[in-house]
Structure formats: C-alpha cells, structure tokens
C-alpha cells in the first residue's frame, strides 16, 4: 500500500516544464479581436481618457494599428465608427463613404490577413444615443430593423467579413441575414451580440464612441444581469435566425453565461471584455495595486477557460506581445 495520500496533485506542479505539459487552457493571439474606433480626417489619433492606450483614429492611423495587430498574430479587428454628423435615425450608419466603410475597404486592400468584423448599431449615429429609432419615448423595434439591415449591407458592400449587430432589437439577425442574402452577400457571416447585458460596464466605451444615451438607459432592450435562462433563449433565437457565431458581453462578470452558451450550443462563442473591465485593471495597475500584465493575462485566461473561442479585448496587442 502506498503511504497516504497516493495521489499528490503537487507532484505535477513542481516545475514549469511539468506545469506546461499538463496545462488545459492556452491563449493564442489568433483568438483575440482588437476593437478600433475610426473617425474622419488624416493623422488623427485622439486618446480616450478613461481607456489608456485606446484612441479614436482616422483611417490612415487605423491602418498602422492593423499592421501591428497582424504582425502580432491577432485574429481580427472590430470596427466602430464615429460619424461627422448625427441625426434622429442615424443615417450616416449606411453611408458608403463614412469612416467605417472607408476603413473596411482600406483594411481589405492593405491588411488582407486580418478578419474584419464591424459593429452594427445605431447608437454612435443617432443624436439621442439610443440603439434604434425613437417613437413615443421608446426605441421602436421593428422600425429599427430596416435601418440595421441597410447598415449591414453597406458594411458587406465595403468588404466586411463578419457583421456584428450589438443593438439587441428582436428579430435583427433574421432581418440582416435576409438583406445580406438579397444583395448577394451569402458569405458575409453574422456574429450576434446575442447575450448583451445592460449595465455599468460600458461607461468608458460611451466616451470612446460618443454614444451615451441622452435620456433614459438601455434596459428596455439589453438584458437584465440576473438572468441566465433568458440568455440561452436569446442565443438560440439568434442561431435559429441565422447567426454564425454568438457573443456574450460583458465577459468577466458573466463567465457562467459563456460556459452555458458554449456547452449548450456548441457554436463558436465570442466574449467581449468590455471597456469597464479594461479600465478597472488599468486603474488598479496605475496605482500599483495589482501587477498589470499578470492580471490582464489571468482575466483573459478565465474567459477562455469558461468556453470562449474568441475574445474581444482592448488588451489584444499587449496580450499578444506578452505571449
């Protein structure tokens, strides 16, 4: 009889080589997607105060970031547009010459190795900052679908690989899929922000995207943080409507949702480590309270371990460098 205990878990933790041999979860730069904010002009690089290292840039500067991303092995970029003008229906969203559409064309021409994903939503484009058109003080779901479809087709026409609707209107995946197919974009994929929770973690982003709602909040369309079964219903609905990939957002506070979505659907799952999650790590590190690189890597590893195939993160470049 072996002396107690027969199994000693510490045996395989003794050296780095042993730990590496039996590690279950790995991070790869190819799994990262870097969000980029694009606006008009040339030579523009406007830092976002609450997101150190993140900036709004013009297309030429965005190309530099994209070249760096591809040389680091990063999988893709997620584009957000800051329009020159906003109006009640967000009409610049489907303007073929707006900054995002220009950026897509430039990326496909100059950085073909990068997957180009575009955020489809109206909140950056509407003067009221909501994700759809307003009627009687509320976001009108069905009137918004047609506009999201137009925006998606405009992105596909510019050459986007993947369209990522983040508005949380009911029926948008079906409407977008139908519009893309009608226009012949059968191979443009849809990554739906399927389980997107309303909450406080998007604050810094709204500064970056200039998309703070001018009245009310997003709780009548984004999800309630207490709900898990509802996330599954949202995800299954989007899959039924034609989503190729689904997203959970935010990531860190919703690891259980990532895990459920992955195990219960088997679909490619993306998780968005959002601006607030990023800002918290940056702020604590600035104060010297945590080790920035190690906390960054562990936050990403946790998201992977929960089941995410793809991680959208403002740390993409830094994390790829650390790997």
Residue 21 CB burial class (10 angstroms; 0-12, 13-18, ≥19): exposed
Contact of 91 with 126, CB cutoff 8 Å: no
Q: Which of residues 116-155 bind ligand PBG (CB under 6 A)?
A: 119, 121, 123, 131
Shortest reach from residue 154's CB to ligand PBG, in Å: 17
Shortest reach from residue 275's CB to ligand PBG, in Å: 3
CB nearer to ligand PBG: pick between 25 and 214: 214
Shortest reach from residue 125's CB to ligand PBG, in Å: 10
Q: Which two tokens stand for residue 205?
A: 């982003």
Residue 63 CB burial class (10 angstroms; 0-12, 13-18, ≥19): middle
* Interacting residue with ligand PBG among 37, 202, 254, 315 (CB under 6 A): 202
Q: How many residues bind ligand PBG (CB under 6 A)?
A: 11
* Interacting residue with ligand PBG among 94, 185, 205, 315 (CB under 6 A): 205
| Closest to 191 (Cα-Cα) out of 152, 157, 147, 158 | 152
Instruction: Tell me how far apart the alpha carbons of residues 168 and 214 are, in angstroms, rounded to a whole number.
Output: 18
Shortest reach from residue 206's CB to ligand PBG, in Å: 6
CB nearer to ligand PBG: pick between 60 and 171: 171
| Closest to 99 (Cα-Cα) out of 155, 183, 180, 157 | 155
**Active-site annotation holder among 85, 196, 262, 321:** 196
Contact of 220 with 138, CB cutoff 8 Å: yes
CB nearer to ligand PBG: pick between 181 and 217: 217
Residue 108 falls in the annotated catalytic set: no
Shortest reach from residue 191's CB to ligand PBG, in Å: 12
Residue 158 CB burial class (10 angstroms; 0-12, 13-18, ≥19): buried
Shortest reach from residue 16's CB to ligand PBG, in Å: 34
Candidates 15-23, 101-109, 115-123, 230-238: pick the segment binding ligand PBG (CB under 6 A): 115-123
Phi and psi at residue 197, to the nearest 5°: -95, 140
DSSP H or E stretch at residue 21: helix 16-21
Q: How many residues does the chain have?
A: 323
Candidates 151-159, 198-206, 231-239, 240-248: pick the segment binding ligand PBG (CB under 6 A): 198-206
| Planar angle of CA 275, 224, 313, nearest 5 degrees | 20
CB nearer to ligand PBG: pick between 205 and 267: 205
Binding status of residue 166 toward ligand PBG by CB under 6 A: yes
Contact of 123 with 111, CB cutoff 8 Å: no
CB nearer to ligand PBG: pick between 121 and 308: 121
Task: State the residues that interact with ligand PBG by CB under 6 A.
Answer: 119, 121, 123, 131, 166, 202, 205-206, 218, 274-275
Which residue numbers are catalytic? 196, 249
């Amino acid at each position: 009889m072996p002396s107690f205990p027969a199994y000693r878990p510490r045996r395989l933790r003794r050296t780095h080589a042993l730990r590496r041999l039996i590690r279950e979860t790995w991070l790869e730069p190819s799994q990262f997607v870097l969000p980029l904010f694009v606006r008009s002009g040339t030579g523009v690089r406007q830092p976002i105060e609450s997101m150190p290292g993140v900036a709004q840039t013009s297309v030429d500067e965005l190309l530099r970031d994209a070249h760096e991303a591809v040389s680091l092995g990063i999988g893709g970029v997620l584009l957000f547009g800051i329009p020159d003008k906003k109006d009640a229906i967000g009409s610049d969203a489907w303007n073929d010459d707006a900054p995002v559409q220009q950026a897509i064309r430039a990326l496909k021409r100059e950085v073909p190795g990068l997957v180009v994903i575009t955020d489809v939503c109206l909140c950056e484009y509407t003067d009221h900052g909501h994700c759809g058109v307003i009627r009687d003080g509320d976001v009108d779901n069905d009137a918004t679908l047609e506009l999201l479809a137009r925006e998606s087709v405009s992105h596909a026409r510019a050459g986007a690989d993947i369209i990522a609707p983040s508005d949380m209107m009911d029926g948008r995946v079906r409407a977008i899929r139908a519009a893309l197919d009608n226009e012949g974009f059968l191979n443009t994929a849809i990554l739906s922000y399927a389980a997107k929770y309303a909450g406080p973690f998007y604050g810094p982003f709204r500064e970056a995207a200039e998309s703070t709602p001018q009245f009310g909040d997003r709780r009548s369309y984004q999800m309630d943080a207490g709900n898990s079964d509802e996330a599954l219903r949202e995800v299954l609905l989007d899959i039924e409507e034609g989503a190729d990939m689904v997203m959970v957002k935010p990531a860190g506070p919703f690891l259980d949702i990532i895990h459920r979505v992955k195990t219960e659907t088997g679909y490619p799952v993306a998780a968005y480590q959002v601006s607030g999650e990023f800002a918290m790590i940056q702020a604590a590190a600035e104060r010297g309270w945590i080790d920035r690189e190690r906390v960054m890597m562990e936050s990403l590893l946790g998201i992977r371990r929960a089941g995410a195939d793809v991680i959208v993160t403002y740390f993409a470049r830094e994390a790829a460098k650390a790997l």
